[in-house]
Structure 1
Amino acid sequence: MAYKKTAALLLMTALAVTSAGCGKQAVDSAAKPVQEAAPVQKTQNQAPVIVAPLTGLPVDAEITDRVVMVMINNHSKARPQSGLDQADVVYEMLEEGLITRFMAFYQSKSPEVVGPVRSIRPYNIEIGQGFDAILSHAGGSVAALSIIRDGGYADMDEIYAYPKAYWRDKSRKAPHNLYTSIEKLRKGAEEKGYRLGGEVPVFRFRKESDSVQGEPGTKIKIQYSKRNTAGYEYDPDTKQYKRFTAGKPHMDKETGKQLTATNVLVIASQHRTLDSEGRLEIDTMGPGEGYLFQRGQALKITWERKDGAIRAYQNGVEMPLYPGTTWVNVVPTTPTLADHLTFE
């Protein structure tokens, strides 16, 4: 798999062919390789169907917008959050204090309220860079801010870069009350002269009618730490995994509905504590072990971050995703994966 240049999709749609061009396109600090156009599904005797690059779901027109990544708080006082239900992809990783934060990636949808927004760490930047994303956050560790300052990223830091894209919700107490919107972030990115189009990781997608064979995986429990647990329960009627946090349904504040995921990837990654504050170094490259949960089945996989994204493999072959949202849960390797993940 490789990056696809979304701008090429318009040409593909107009010509109804499946060729693509190669070349170079600059990012904010350095050039990245340009690959083929965004995914197109084609059925017999029908025109190609345009799909969203990160979800594989049909869309009315090609998506050329650059991906936006928002750092979202998962402290108990920050729940329920807003806008996670409209993210194409969500990564959940530990921060100091052994609580998690979310990296929510937006391209096909633009929620009006997203948050609460919190600070960023170097491993968040690494993953965000893989998506060529505009980075939304409120400050960060010294190491993270140094990386952003020296790397020429499309930075929308609320503290140091563009506070106009953010507001405080007076019904909550700081620091759990900072919010943004994807529209405000895109407008700010334009004002700051950042590229508005970008490159995205390209994923393989299954047909909706495809079946998978694995172990039973309808109930998932993830133990990040004693302070933080997550879970998913498969609903065969909707073919979605319902999200739980701290043993309770994980709801969206704006809609009042429970969060869901089509694909759930749980991977074990090396974590190292750096200082007395508990700041972490987390391996985002792999390889490592994990499980991919789809359609109530648990598939034993290995993982690596290739071509911008963490991907699941079996016998060296990338595992395709079902069209829909994907949640990636990153847990420590120690003591073992089994100490952090149970399912039935």
Structure 2
Amino acid sequence: MSAAGVKRSVGALFGALLLAVTAGCTGGDGSPSPHDSASFGGRAGRVLAVKIDNVAPARPHTGLEKADVVYVEQVEAGLSRILAVYSSEVPPVIGPVRSARETDLELLRQFGRPVLAFSGAQGRLLPVIDRAPLDAVPPSKAPGAYFRGPGRPAPHNLYLRPGRIPFEASGADAVEALGLKTGAAPSGGEPEDSRTVRYPSASVTFSWSAGRERWLVSLDGAPARTSEGGRLGAATVVVQEVTVRPSEFRDRSGNVSPFTETVGAGSAVVLRDGRAHDVRWSRPSADADTVYTASDGRRVELAEGPLWILYAPRGSSGPATAP
């Protein structure tokens, strides 16, 4: 068997092990028991946001392919981390789960009162999370919902069983909570085969596949796959140029945590249907939705399927590059 085949087989076995671990606790379908459910607010139905690791030892990811919206943001040391948002469908296992950042709190205000699953946070940030308009569910509040998976070292092996936390999927796409709609692509645009977004120590590349009608994802130059071996893909990609500045918080190693400003305005690129569209984004306040408008002033509509939004430090997205 080739090296690639061995890797896919190991990934599939790993995914099967994760599902086996959770079957006895969630019934195998990830749905919560009645006594686990709680009534949370939310202007467009509840969503579940999960903070996910995004370094090489954390890959392949589990359950990321089921997310309605995937955010990528910069963290310490120039690395990237993922915030995945679920509503229409929630897999039985999600991970690896990592710690929250201050950026997440402002970002998530767009979803009303979401449920946030994360492994922990810097000590000074924890009271800020407790005061935020969200329902925080770290391991300390739901120890039975998390487990350490096999075959990986900590901290890259913590997984969430969504069926063991007080959350129930609404069945509606989380994109709706952002005030976005699916529909026709904006007029114009330029043909695009590939786009790379670079962080100081990480990169994300999207390569258009007409046959799959998806932008196939590569992370740090390697194809991004699920734990079962499939390719991760996005129907629509938004590369949103933002200001990234130092925050008041540091990680456990003393590195200053960056803060991504998601309130404001600026330029963005929307990738869909093999074309790139230059647009503008605007979010006047933390309670407001982010609006994407084309050159004719109309709101941009999305392709049907997963939405990836990358917060790119201003001036870093650059031109299209080969995968």
* Normalised TM-score (structure 1): 0.72
Q: After alignment, is 78-87 or 123-132 more displaced? A: 123-132
215, 238, 262: which one aligns with 2:212: 238
- Residue 162 of structure 2 aligns with which residue? 182
1:277 CA displacement: 1.2
Q: CA deviation at 1:247?
A: 1.1
CA distance in 1, matches of 2:171, 2:164: 13
Tell me which amino acid in the other structure corresponds to 2:317.
H
Aligned to 1:268: 241
| Distance in structure 1 (CA, Å) of the matches to 2:190 and 2:167 | 45
Q: CA RMSD in A?
A: 2.6
| 1:279 partner SS | strand
- From 258, 261, 280, the equivalent of 1:302 is 280
CA contact 1:189–1:196 (8 Å) conserved in 2: no
Which sections of structure 1, spanning at least 5 residues, go unmatched?
A: 1-25, 39-63
The counterpart of 1:150, out of the listed 131, 135, 156, is 131
Q: 2:72 aligns with which of 92, 96, 103?
A: 92
Letter in 1 for 2:282: E
- Indicate the residue corresponding to 2:94 in structure 1: 114
The alpha-carbon deviation at position 308 of structure 1 amounts to 5.0
1:133 aligns with 2:106: no
Whole-angstrom distance in 2 between the partners of 1:325 and 1:239: 11
Alpha-carbon distance in structure 2 between the residues aligned to 1:78 and 1:221? 21
Cα deviation for residue 144 of structure 1 reads 3.3
CA contact (8 A) 2:186 2:294 kept: no
Give the corresponding residue for 2:265. Answer: 287
Aligned AA for 1:284? T
Q: Deviations over 1:96-125 (max 9, x none)?
A: 121111110101111111000000011112
> Of 146, 149, 152, which residue of structure 2 is paired with 1:169?
149
Residue 248 of structure 1 pairs with residue 222 of structure 2: yes
Contact 1:88/1:107 (<8 A) preserved: yes
Aligned residues: 271
Distance across 2 between alignment mates of 1:80 and 1:295: 26
Partner secondary structure for residue 103 of structure 1: strand
Question: Is the 2:192–2:275 Cα contact (8 Å) retained in structure 1?
Answer: yes
SS at match of 1:157: coil
The one-letter amino acid of 2:164's match is K
% identical equivalent positions: 27
Do the aligned partners of 2:52 and 2:98 also contact (CA within 8 Å) in 1?
yes
SS in 1 for 2:163: helix
Preserved contact between residue 67 and residue 107 of structure 1 (Cα < 8 Å): yes
Q: Kindly indicate whether structure 1 or structure 2 has the higher relative contact order, using CA contacts under 8 Å at least 6 residues apart.
A: 2
Relative distance call for 1:313 and 1:259 in structure 2 (3 A) is same
Secondary structure of the structure 2 residue equivalent to 1:252? coil
Tell me by how many angstroms 1:212 deviates: 4.3
Structure 1 residue 287: Cα displacement: 0.2
**Matched residue of 1:124: which SS?**
helix
**Superposition deviation, residue 184 in structure 1:** 2.1
341 and 177 in structure 1: CA distance in 2 versus 1, 3 angstrom threshold: same
* CA shift digits 1:19-70 (9 cap, x unpaired): xxxxxxx966xxx7x6xxx7xxxxxxxxxxxxxxxxxxxxxxxxx6x21000
Which structure has greater strand proportion? 1
1:147, CA displacement in angstroms? Answer: 1.6
Residue 148 of structure 1: CA displacement?
1.8
Question: Secondary structure, in 3 states, of the residue corresponding to 1:173?
Answer: coil
Among 305, 314, 331, which residue is 2:312 paired with? 331
**AA paired with 1:145?**
L
Q: Which moved more, 1:300-309 or 1:79-88?
A: 300-309
Deviation sequence 1:175-199 (CA, Å, 0-9, x none): 00000132223xx358xxxx99999
Letter in 2 for 1:80: P
Extract unaligned runs of 5+ from structure 2: 1-38
Deviation at 1:313, TM superposition (A): 1.4
What secondary structure is seen at the aligned counterpart in 1 of 2:277?
strand
Could you say which residue in structure 1 is the equivalent of 2:303? 322
**What amino acid is the match of 1:114?**
I
Q: SS of 2:57's equivalent? A: helix
Distance 1:229 1:150 in 2: 33
